[in-house]
Every structure is written in C-alpha cells, then in structure tokens.
Amino acid sequence: MSVKPSRSLTLGVLLLASVIMTFLSPATAGRVRSMLHWAFAPMGDAGMYLTTRVKKSTRPTEPVTADQAKQYKTENEILNRQVRFLVSKLTVMNDQIVGSKTTISNLYGFHRDIPVRLIPGRVVSGDSLPYGWTRLLNAGEKQSAQPGQAVTTRILTTDREEKLPENLAVLSSQSLVGRLTESAAFTSRLQLVTDRGFTTTSQIARVIDPRNPRTVQHIDRLQTLTPLINRPVEVIAVGDGAGGLIVREVKKVHNIREGDKLQTRPDSPGLPVAVEIGTVSKVFDDPKHPGMMTLHVTPTSDLPALREVFIVVPKAGQSNSNGGR
Amino acid sequence: MRWIPFLIFAYLFVLAQSTLGKILTFDRLPIGPIGPDLLVLLAVFVGLNVRNLVDGMIACWLIGFMIDLTTAGGVGLATRIGPMAFGYCLSVWMVFALREAMFRDKALPQMLMAALFCLACHGFWITVQTLFAADGSWAVYGSLILQVIISAIYTAMLMPLINFLLTPCRGMIIATVAEKSRRGKTY
C-alpha cells in the first residue's frame, strides 16, 4: 500500500529541512553546493561571456579636460623618449647579464623554480544574490583544484573574436584575484579578494618616488626611504564587500602612501611569490588606535569583468595550510 | 502548479540571475554592489497567480533553495543553506494575503509587492547569515540592510516588465490560475 503525502505535509517537511540545513556548518554547506555545481556551470558560460564583455565596455573612466590632455601628451612624449633611451641601455645590460648568468649556470648548474603549477580556468557563473563577490570556475578537483588555493588573473591577448592557432595566447601581467572556497569534480568556487569573507596575510611594497621622498623608521631612527632599506611592510588585508580591500592597524611610522602596492607574501606556501593584489588608494588615520592608520586598497584586476584565471596549485610536497576560511 | 515547466522556468531564472544579472548590477558603489533579484520577480508572479497557497509556498521554497545553492559569499564566511528557502516560502504567504487588498493587474501594486517580498526575504537572509557569521558586526549589518533596501527598490522597478513577459506563459507554469469573482475575491 502506498501513501501519497499531502501538500501540507510536503511543505512542512521542506520548511523543517530548511531550518535543519541552516544549522549545517559552512564547510558542509559548501560540500552540498559543490554537489550541484554541475547543474549551473555548463549553461552559464555563454551568459557570463556576454556579461564580462558588457562590463569591460562599461568600465567607468574619469573625464579629461583639454588642458590635461595637452599636459599628458607632452609628458608622454618626454617619457617615451626616456623609455626608448632606457630600453636601449637595458637591452645592452640585459645581454651582459644573460651572458654572465649563462656562464655561471653552466659552471655551477644552480636553478630555482617556483614550486607551483598554473591551471587555467574560466568564470562561468556568479552569485545569485548581489551581496557577495564569488564566481564559479570551470576547473575542479579533476584538474587538481582544491579549496584554499590562490587564483590569479590570466590576461590573454585575444579571446573569442579572432580564430588563432592553439597556444598562441600570450600571458601578460598577473594579479591575485581571490582564493578557492569550494571544489567539485569539474568546477570550483572562487572567493574574490573584495568579498567580505576574504582575509589574507600580505605585504605593502612602498613605491620610491625620487621627486617626493619619504621618511620612514628604520632600526629605531628616521631615514629617507631608499631601495636599500625598503623592506615590505607585513599586513593583513580583508575584503570590504564594496569592490575594495581594507588594511587595518598599520603603523604610521611606515609612512605608507597612496600608490603603494599590496602584494602577496613570498613566504606564503600557496603562492610563494610577490604577486600584486592592488594599489593603496586611500590612507586615513585610525581613530580607535592612535599611531595607526587604515588603508583602502583598489584591486589591480577589473573584478566585475573577470573571465580568464589561473588556479595556483602547489606542486607535490608543498603544504597549503592557510586556506581561504 | 505544473511542476516540470515551473522547475525549468526557475532554473532559467537562476541561470539568468547568476550570469546576465551581473550586467544589471552596479558593482562600484561605496555601499557595495546593488543588483536586482530576478527570482523575486518570478516568486511574486507565482504568488499573484497561484490558486493554492501551499502550492505557491512549495514553489517559492524551491526557488529560494536554488538561490541558497548558488550563493556563497556576502556576509563573511561561506553562507548557510536554508534561510533563503525559508524566507521565500514565508514571503509568498505575505503576497498571497496582500493580493486580495490590491489591484494586482496594475503595475504599482505589483512593484510594491515585489519590494516588500524582496525586503522580507533578503532582510531575513542577511539577518540569519550575520547571526551565524563569526565576524558579523553591526556596521556590516547596517551596510547590508542598506544594500537590501536599494536592491529591493531596483528589483521592484523591473516587476511590471517581468510580469508582462511572463503573463503569456502563465498557463504553462500554473495549472489553474486564480481568477477574480464578481465580489472581488480571488478563487
């Protein structure tokens, strides 16, 4: 004898299920979500392609006045001449360095490689609600993607508009865009650096401007910042949920300014190189902690238009303990 | 309810929301991203037209559950599954009760109901997720509530358009559409 459940009973069971599921841990919730990535990832690719194209084309730009345009043009010409001169000088020096390095390498055979593997991925979908900054990628555990791994941009010279031979796509500058928080067989979820839940240990690289020198504290005394004493400042950066990152409780003596770079730390096991995350866009005093300041960082990448990425997979033997949560 | 066509519609709406919905989202605002919730529009459409309240609540639970499964960020740690399903389910009850007191064919009442629906379910979701988040603070909660209010207004503005587009497909989703009697009551 079969008993057909009434609609009211079904509704009661569903409501009870939603209450019980609310008390599942975030990790368990992540696993449940991962099990259903497959349902949305394949169909989302075309929509996300269109979305990223529109977002790229609608990127806001500040208006430039006629005077500013003239000034920029003059500055550009001067800088271009300087660049040409420096490039020719650099080429000569590079040739000398390469020659010397080759000789040393041939003599001693020393070689250092960054112990990571880069897995290409593509953004195929986003969050359903507008409050979060996460994306679904089309690379998963089958490609060795695991929660906690860092994700960087992958800038290609071309996308789909032109037909090109295989492997011709050229990579250019890279920046950290986030970290994986969930992974399924063929998909994974990327938490962008601007999400409120994103936290990372990082460093600030101070940019030296000879026209505008700055004084910093170095071994208990104040000195003008030079390349010799310009050590990165270790900080903790968190996403602000509004398209930027916040770095709190940075000592004023470090004299960090707008334009300085936020980078990953080279001693990080997941991504053992200094990869740029963003640029300090605002510096303001911390009213709660005298002698400290708070930094607002604008990400280097255009995150709303993010499309192609690299998942950084540590090679075998490299632990990845500082995950995204 | 015609469950299979309804689930296909819900799936297509989730897909549109998580991909093309980003085109309609303003990402670079100081308070955070503001975007519409297309699923709210489908849920309100169901709430306005379904004959049986329990059917409407089950349908909205399914929509809310799909959102839970496709949302992982926003409040702090990875978000929980379940609150949006619960919120959608209860919010459609409110639409069902309110539709008797309004001219549901008119754009303004539809917009009002979409805004109230969005405020109720998103507000509930934000509150539950903030309560569970280890680092949830009042400042973050206030900022999120402001986002919810503006997103609700934005979502409401799209309601007449979606209602206009979905009305020809009403018979495909809802088996017996609620009609108005001579006394003005809905059956």
pLDDT at site A3: 61
Please answer yes or no on whether B14 and A40 come within 8 Å at the CB atom: yes
Contact between chains at A241 and B79 (C-beta distance less than 8 A) = no
Cα distance between the two ends of chain B: 15
Summarised one tens digit per residue, pLDDT across range A213-270 is: 888 887 778 888 888 888 899 999 999 888 899 999 999 888 899 999 999 998 887 7
Q: What is the pLDDT of residues A191-209, one digit of tens each?
A: 999 988 888 999 999 988 8
| Whether pLDDT at B187 is above 50 | no
Q: Is B172 exposed, middle or buried (0-12, 13-18, 19+ CB in 10 A)?
A: middle
Q: Looking at chain B, list the stretches that DSSP marks H as alpha helix, in order from N- to C-terminal side.
A: 3-18, 38-49, 53-69, 83-98, 107-132, 138-166, 170-173
Residue B21: DSSP 8-state: G
Q: Give the separation between CA A191 and CA A26, rounded to whole angstroms.
A: 14
| pLDDT value for B6 | 93
Cβ distance B70 to A124 under 8 Å?
no
CA distance B20 to B7: 19
Contact A131 B75 (CB under 8 A): yes
C-beta atoms of A29 and B80 within 8 A: yes
Q: Of the given ranges (A99-113, B73-87, B151-165), which has the lowest mean pLDDT? A: A99-113
Question: Which has the higher per-residue pLDDT, B67 or A110?
Answer: B67
- Mean pLDDT value across residues A166-192: 75
pLDDT, tens digit (0-9, with 9 covering 90-100), for A78-97: 999 999 999 989 988 988 88
Residue type at position A122? R
Chain B residues lying within 8 Å of A246, measured CB to CB: none
Nearest to A171 by CA among A158, A155, A153: A155
Q: What is the pLDDT of residues B141-172, one digit of tens each?
A: 888 899 999 999 999 999 999 999 999 988 88
Average pLDDT, chain A: 82
Q: Tell me the mean pLDDT in the region A103-110.
A: 66
Q: Mean per-residue pLDDT for B3-29?
A: 90
Number of helices (H), then strands (E), in chain A? 4, 14
pLDDT confidence of residue B181: 45
Q: Determine how many CB atoms are found less than 10 A away from the CB of residue A85.
A: 10
Cα separation, B152 vs A88, in Å, equals 58
pLDDT digit string (tens) for A35-80?
888 888 778 888 888 888 888 777 766 777 888 889 999 999 999 9
* pLDDT, tens digit (0-9, with 9 covering 90-100), for B34-55: 999 999 999 999 999 998 899 9
Q: What was the pLDDT predicted at A242?
A: 86
* pLDDT category of residue A323 using cuts at 50, 70 and 90: very low
Angle made by CA atoms A72, A174, B70, in degrees to the nearest 5 = 115
The tokens for A39 are 């349902």
Q: How many residue pairs from chains A and B have C-beta atoms closer than 8 A?
A: 198
Nearest to B70 among A40, A50, A325 (CB): A40
Inter-chain residue contact B58 with A136, CB threshold 8 Å? no
- The alpha carbon of B115 is separated from its chain's Cα centroid by a whole number of angstroms, namely 9
| Residue A196 to residue B122, Cβ atoms within 8 A | no
* Run of H or E residues at A316: none
Which chain A residue has its CA at the smallest distance from B75's CA?
Answer: A196
Please tell me which of the candidates B23, B73, B85 has its beta carbon nearest to residue A197. Answer: B73
Residue A108 confidence (pLDDT): 65
User: What percent of chain A lies above the pLDDT cut of 70?
Assistant: 86
**Beta-ladder partners of B131:** none
Distance from the Cα of B40 to chain A's closest Cα (Å) equals: 11
ipTM given for this complex: 0.86
Please indicate whether, in this complex, the C-beta atoms of A243 and B32 are within 8 angstroms of each other. Answer: yes
Best residue in A20, A50, A129, A245 for a mutation probing chain B (most B CBs within 10 Å): A129
Chain B residues with CB inside 8 Å of A189's CB?
A: 72
